Amino acid sequence: MRLFLTLIRESFVFAVSALRDNRTRTLLSLLGVTIGIMTIIGVFSAVDTLRNNLEESVKKIGSRTLYIEKWPWDGGPDFPWWKYINRPEPKYVDFEAVRDRMTTAEQVAYTINISNSTAKYDNNSAANITVTAGTHELYSIRNLDIVEGRYFTEQESRAAGPSVILGATIAEGLFPNEDPIGKYITLVGRRLQVIGVLKKEGAGVLMNVSNDDVAYIPFTLARNIVNYENYGPSIAIEVKYPYSLEEAESELIGIMRSSRRLAPQREDNFSVNKTTLITAQLDQMFTIINLAGFCIGIFSILVGGFGIANIMFVSVKERTNLIGIQKALGAKNFFILSQFLIESILLCLIGGAIGLGIVYGLAGLVKLALDVTIVVSLKMVMLTTILSTIIGLIAGIVPALNAARLDPVEAIRSK
């Protein structure tokens, strides 16, 4: 074992010396592997980043939340919209039936969204606001993070209290130099008192779920202002532990069919939506993107591998005389073989490291410029190391075998 380790160490020294003596050739031979590794890691990191942001968005919507709505979420190019266009919107009586009868629900809330609203305070205004009006239970279902002020009291929720909770962007636009709590703004034609401000979240990836441009008001207040059935009403149901989504969904469908007095032979005239409908479709998309990126990267690495194999053949040719001298002095075939294999693997590992470094550098630039965190996980580093080693072995094995099999006399005379 000691002799084996000594041979490996000496082979490593010879390989490093050869790479250092031919810097230009070494640099050019790295390009293919670097581009290939950068492509694979870049695509995988982009997909991991999108998946990570998607998971954060799912948490905001509620991974254990069901939604009763008119339209299903599983759309697409062949979406049969004509089946759903004449469906009734979820009514408040449907919400009351679900709230009173559903045993697998932790909380049940009724919400509407009034889009393209404008809020005003003195000379400041904020446009393109979504006003979400919900019953009192919405706070726990949405996991609203209030950093200033408070949420509505039950009395305010029931009595149509003229109160509002603002998203971070709205509060910054209306009150750039003031504390918004306690101030009155004009919104949806009413004078409302600001009682809370939500934590800044940034842009949402899934269904635009960021609360930064959302203002929350009690549902009882909204129903006095607008015809709530015209604003996409939704019933949100947080499923109680330890019940599964499937158990809750089955009970929910039964309650809704009973509430709407649907005969057994009639189809449901409502949709039960959940985040798994979206994530299932996105998982398919991620699989395709990963496969495409892997194929592109593998082709790039293969091209780089052929380049390294060619360089190794040239290196064997240049060092034939030296190989003959080493063999004449007693060097074993294994020692000659390991020199060129280590050199080939080192080339690929250095190329992989450069590719990974470029990805980390680009991730840092994106973070500084766009405030978006790119996920470059440990498995990417492991993948880089494994791929580089494999390509190095494949690219170097034939030149190394040729070098190890050289006749020492013929090799020395080749000078």
**Whole-number pLDDT of residue 150:** 94
Segment 54-68 shows an average pLDDT of: 75
pTM above 0.75, yes or no: no
> Is the CB of residue 235 less than 8 Å from the CB of residue 137?
no
Task: Name the 3-class secondary structure at 332.
Answer: coil
Task: Report angle CA 347, 402, 413 to the nearest 5 degrees.
Answer: 110
Q: DSSP 3-state assignment of 253?
A: helix
Distances in Å between the Cα of 300 and the Cα atoms of 36, 293, 362 are 4, 11, 20
> How much is the pLDDT for 394?
82
Q: Give me the pLDDT at residue 198, please.
A: 94
Average pLDDT over residues 259-273: 91
Task: Quickly tell me which residue has 């500084």 as its tokens.
Answer: 368
Residue the block writes with tokens 């003195």: 122
Tell me, what's the pLDDT at 414? 67
342 phi, psi to nearest 5 deg? -65, -40
User: SS3 breakdown of the chain: % helix, strand, coil, rounded to 5?
Assistant: 55, 15, 25
What pLDDT score was predicted for residue 91?
93
- Quickly state the pLDDT bin for 335 (edges 50, 70, 90): confident
Instruction: Decide if pLDDT at 140 tops 70.
Output: yes
Tell me: the pLDDT tens digits for 165-179?
Answer: 999 999 999 999 899
- Residue 327 pLDDT greater than 60, yes or no: yes
Predicted confidence band of residue 117 (pLDDT cuts 50, 70, 90): very high
**pLDDT score at 9:** 67
Cβ contacts of 299 within 8 Å, gap of 6 or more? 36
C-alpha span between 382 and 385 (Å, rounded): 5
What does the pLDDT read at residue 169? 92
Residue 10, pLDDT above cutoff 70? no
Residue of higher predicted confidence among 4 and 175: 175
Task: Give 3's pLDDT tier (boundaries 50, 70, 90).
Answer: low
pLDDT in tens, 355-413: 888 888 888 888 787 766 777 777 777 877 787 788 878 877 888 788 778 777 777 77
> Tokens at residue 298, please?
């593998």
- Maximum average pLDDT range among 31-35, 98-102, 355-359: 98-102
Mean pLDDT for all residues in the chain: 82
Placement of tokens 């649907």 in the chain? 262
At CA 123, angle to CA 121 and CA 128, rounded to 5? 65
Strand boundaries in 122-240, DSSP class E: 124-134, 146-149, 163-166, 184-187, 190-198, 214-218, 234-239
Phi-psi region of 16 (alpha: psi -120 to 50; beta: other; left: phi over 0): alpha
Going by the DSSP 8-state scheme, the letter that residue 269 receives in this structure is S
- pLDDT tier, 209 (very low <50, low <70, confident <90, very high otherwise): low
Please give the residue that has the higher pLDDT: either 39 or 234. Answer: 234
- Supply the pLDDT for residue 217: 95
- The pLDDT tens digits for 274-318 are 877 666 666 777 777 777 777 776 777 777 777 778 777 877 777
Q: Does the structure show a pLDDT above 70 at 77?
A: no
Q: Given this model, what pLDDT does residue 389 score?
A: 80
Residue among 326, 346, 292, 349 nearest 404 (CA): 326
Can you tell me the mean pLDDT for 327-356? 79
**Which H or E element spans position 105?**
strand 105-121
